[in-house]
Amino acid sequence: MVFQVKKRKAEQYINLLASLCFTGEGAFSEMMKYRHPNMKKSYALENLAESEITDSESAAHSLYSFLAAEYNEEFHRMRNILLTLAEAERTQYIKAIQDEEEAYKYSIVRLYMNRLPVMSIAAYDYSVCIMRSQEATAAGYISKEESTEFQIQAARKSQETFSNWSEYIVSYTAGVQFGSINTKEDAMEYMAHQEDSITKLLTARHSPLLTVDWNTDLSHY
């Protein structure tokens, strides 16, 4: 009985980390009811294909990249460059960048470089790693055992990096704007759609963040 309770709590915790990947209208409702064993193969295949993941090799490559928090590493590389410049120089530096996507990323780094409670956007990497590992299993690209290992590692890295759900949510919000959005207009649209879900996650009485302990024991997952 005790084992089953701890296993259920670990599943709730990891599914909640993954569910942050839901966006748009109704995202909070999706987060509330998300259970990855219910994922359909067709849904998983379609989602993975959108990220050019079409087989076991591309799935493994993607998962290892997110587990290594490569977006967070890129964020810090850009942040270190901006830290060498005065505020006015940062504006000129970003304006001079020819590549629009790179210029956008620098603008996100500049926006969040002194605003994150933990100087990391790795929450985005870890949540996507968990969600994609679940999708990769449903798609038949990796085994259940491989998926479980990716999920546990990403969840443990999350606990090592952040102290609570609030820090994680802020990090994820910055990370998704850096890692999966390419223009300022798209970022504004994302925040307009996602603001309601983020607010509910942090403040609603029925938010899962209030019932799922940040330091959940993951040894029984």
Q: 39 lies in a domain?
A: yes
Read off the pLDDT of residues 184-215 as tens digits, 9 standing for 90 and up.
888 788 777 778 888 888 888 888 888 899 99
Sequential DSSP letters for 19-65: HTT--STTHHHHHHH--GGG--HHHHHHHHHHTT--SHHHHHHHHHH
CA–CA distance, 143 with 118 (Å, rounded to integer): 34
CA–CA distance, 201 with 22 (Å, rounded to integer): 12
Q: Does the pTM exceed 0.95?
A: no
> Residue 57, class by beta-carbon neighbours within 10 Å (0-12 exposed, 13-18 middle, 19+ buried)?
exposed
Helix axes 2-19, 144-161, angle to 10 degrees: 80
Residue pair 13/218 in contact by the 8 Å Cβ criterion? yes
Q: 175 lies in a domain?
A: yes
Q: 144 lies in a domain?
A: yes
Q: 216 lies in a domain?
A: no
Q: 161 lies in a domain?
A: yes
What letters, b where the CB count within 10 A reaches 16 and e where it falls short, cover 25-35?
eebbeebbebe
pLDDT range class, residue 39, cuts 50, 70, 90? confident
Average the pLDDT over 119-148 and give the result: 96
The total number of residues written for the chain in this structure: 221
Q: 143 lies in a domain?
A: yes
When divided into structural domains, the chain yields a total of 1
| Domain assignment of residue 170, given as a range | 12-210
pLDDT range class, residue 5, cuts 50, 70, 90? confident
Q: 49 lies in a domain?
A: yes
Q: Which two tokens stand for residue 86?
A: 């005065």
